[in-house]
Amino acid sequence: MEVSTIENTERHETVLILDFGSQYTQLITRRIRELGVFSEILPYNVSFKEIKDKNPLGIILSGGPSSVYEEEAPRIGKEIFSLNVPILGICYGLQIITYLFDGKIMPSEKREYGLAKLKIISDSALFKGIPDSGSVWMSHGDKISNLPKEFESIAMTENSPYAAIHSKNDQYFGLQFHPEVLHTEKGKEILHNFLYEICCCHGDWSAESFIDDSIKKIRDEVGDKRVLLGLSGGVDSSVVAVLLHEAIGDNLHCVFINNGLLRYNEAEEVEETFRNNFNMNLTVVDSSREFYKELAGVIDPEIKRKKIGNTFIDVFEKEAKKIGQFDYLAQGTLYPDVIESVSFKGPSATIKSHHNVGGLPEKLNFKLVEPLRELFKDEVREVGRKLNMPEFILGRHPFPGPGLAVRIMGNITEERVQLLQKADAIYIEEIKNAGIYDEIWQAFSVLLLVQTVGVMGDQRTYEKVIALRAVTSADGMTADWYPMPYDVLGKVSNRIINEVHGVNRVVYDVSSKPPATIEWE
């Protein structure tokens, strides 16, 4: 497959984030974008030429798990300071700046993790309009023991006399604490000062500007050629579909494959939304029988995933050939996928290899259109809202690629899928009725492999068990179980047992991640 991803032709003003392995690196980037400035993550060991070619207005050095005095610690060259742009080091980034200017770092006798009280002791543009004291979030075991002669302290905590520093020319800054986390009071204002008071940004990054730029770039790249999109009905592919349709109209053709493992009535909703409301060219393929046949007797969740993926490829390839010739394949690749595909040689190990959605075979010979590859999930939703997309799509909870196959323990049959679809529809309906749907990151039902004894009327039953799951989370990496109100649980349980034939027991999952995962398989 020829990869010809649409690149920016008109670059926004940019602040670069050099990643030293912090768990908060993506959060820094999101905070910068929320403040109206485009930001991009690069590995700390990227070439100096690439940094220079990006022409950044400012650079942020992220935190990281290493100690700068360790032999294998990730470091950068001092040539970065020849760019003559403001630089902000956060946590480990502060230590890197100190190290490069010949200051001294040493292990702290008393490590700081959690909240600390910050006291501002010197005027600095970084703290313009910030109260003289407030709480900040610390996470470090090292501290500055000797400040470089070119720098001075501008804030301190009880354990850190150099909790914030700046160069005497007011161009380079370091924070021992994390301004990007919500626990830090006025953290967003500190970042705002760095962007607008120090880097002199104007703030040209927004959902509207992204849409305008993307439509122009798509038209310039694609022209009058045809684009094929595998539409799943999820947030990412749906926003891609509407954005592309705005740009190229009927030259976009969407294919929706019903694998029989979708949410209740989802195939009908997708058809109604995209064909009837948005007037898109849409081919709907019901391949549920094909998927059920492949999954018959399969218990292992990894084998389920592989069979679903392979079957999807086969069906998609066959349908694509039926529709005709296409030059481009559109995909809903997001910025975290792009970041994770980069092998950061150092503290940030490769998490997964980025690949074309569904693993579509190279012989289809498509060029790729990935208009969302610069966006985070929350930005995708905001773009969708600006495109007047329905909230029931944009605000819906995450749904796994293999669908209900990983929410049905054991064998997959049409009967078991339909049972779970009905139970899950009741669950989602009731938490929406209770007004708590948007408080929850993800809520869903699971069909268990066990059966239990029950009594209905005067008769003994031996029927299936439904488990309910609901979690809160910021990004899905960690999650807490949601304290579902008892009256909602009672109503959901009562409705499922009475309305879904074959279920006589409902249970609620109170496991957090870790140690459990969000999905059951």
| pLDDT class of 354 with cuts at 50, 70, 90 | very low
pLDDT of amino acid 342: 53
Give CA separation, 396 vs 198, 428, 429, in Å. 39, 10, 12
Query: pLDDT value at position 140?
Result: 65
Cα distance between residue 189 and residue 64, in whole Å:
23
pLDDT of residue 363: 55
Q: Catalytic: which of 12, 13, 40, 91?
A: 91
Q: Which long-range contacts (CB under 8 A, 24 or more apart) does 423-428 make?
A: 423/447, 423/466, 423/496, 423/500, 423/503, 424/263, 424/264, 425/263, 425/264, 425/265, 426/492, 426/495, 426/496, 426/499, 426/500, 427/468, 427/492, 427/496
Select from 46, 45, 87, 91 the least CA-distant residue to 68: 91
| pLDDT at residue 474 is higher than 80 | no
Better pLDDT: 358 or 87: 87
Per the prediction, the chain carries an average pLDDT of 89
Residue 262 one-letter amino acid: L
Residue among 13, 40, 112, 180 flagged as catalytic: 180
Whether the Cβ atoms of residue 264 and residue 422 lie closer than 8 Å to each other: yes
Q: What is the pLDDT of residues 227-249, one digit of tens each?
A: 999 999 889 999 999 999 999 99
Res. 253: pLDDT tops 70: yes
Q: How confident is the model at residue 4 (pLDDT cuts 50, 70, 90)?
A: very low
**Beta-carbon contacts of residue 149 (< 8 Å; ≥ 6 apart):** none
Min mean pLDDT across 104-113, 170-179, 261-270, 394-403 is at: 104-113
180 is catalytic: yes
> Residue 353: pLDDT band by 50, 70, 90 thresholds?
very low
Q: Is 491 a residue whose pLDDT tops 80?
A: yes
Can 501 be counted among the known catalytic residues?
A: no
Distance CA 69, CA 59 (A): 22
**Percent of the chain, pLDDT > 90?**
74
Q: Return the bridge partners of 253, or none.
A: 228, 281
Give me the sign of the Cα torsion angle 130, 132, 135, 139: positive
Question: Which residue among 178, 192, 245, 253 is the active-site one?
Answer: 178
d(CA 99, CA 111): 20
Q: How far is CA 359 from CA 52, 310, 316, 333, 362, in A?
A: 35, 8, 11, 13, 9
Task: Please give the residue that has the higher pLDDT: either 56 or 10.
Answer: 56
- Is 390 a residue whose pLDDT tops 70? yes
**What does the alpha-carbon distance between residue 230 and residue 240 come to, in Å, rounded to a whole number?**
10
The whole-number average pLDDT for the span 151-166 is: 92
Evaluate if residue 455 carries a pLDDT over 60.
yes
Q: By C-alpha distance, which of 438, 515, 459, 511 is closest to 481? A: 511
Asked whether 252 and 330 are in contact (CB, 8 A), the reply is yes
* The pairing of beta strand 58-61 with beta strand 87-90: parallel
Residue pair 16/62 in contact (Cβ under 8 Å)? The answer is: no
CA separation for the pair 293, 49 (Å, rounded): 54
pLDDT tens digit sequence for 429-454 = 999 999 999 999 999 999 999 989 88
In this predicted structure, what is the pLDDT of residue 246? Answer: 96
Give dist(CA 56, CA 480) in Å, integer: 38
Specify whether 178 is catalytic.
Answer: yes
**Predicted pLDDT at 351:** 30
**pLDDT tens by residue, 366-376:** 889 999 999 98
The pLDDT score that the predictor gives to residue 356 is 38
pLDDT at position 69 is: 84
* Integer Cα distance of 474 and 137 in angstroms: 17
Task: Kindly state the average pLDDT of the residues 359-388.
Answer: 84
pLDDT at 421 over 80: yes
- Report pLDDT digits (tens) over 28-81: 999 999 999 999 999 999 999 999 999 999 999 999 888 888 888 899 999 999
The predicted-structure confidence for 318-350, as pLDDT tens digits, reads as follows 998 899 889 999 999 888 877 765 534 334 433
SS in 3 state form for 275-296? HHHCCCEEEEEECHHHHHHHHC
Is the per-residue pLDDT at 387 higher than 50?
Answer: yes
458 and 469 Cβ atoms separated by less than 8 Å: no
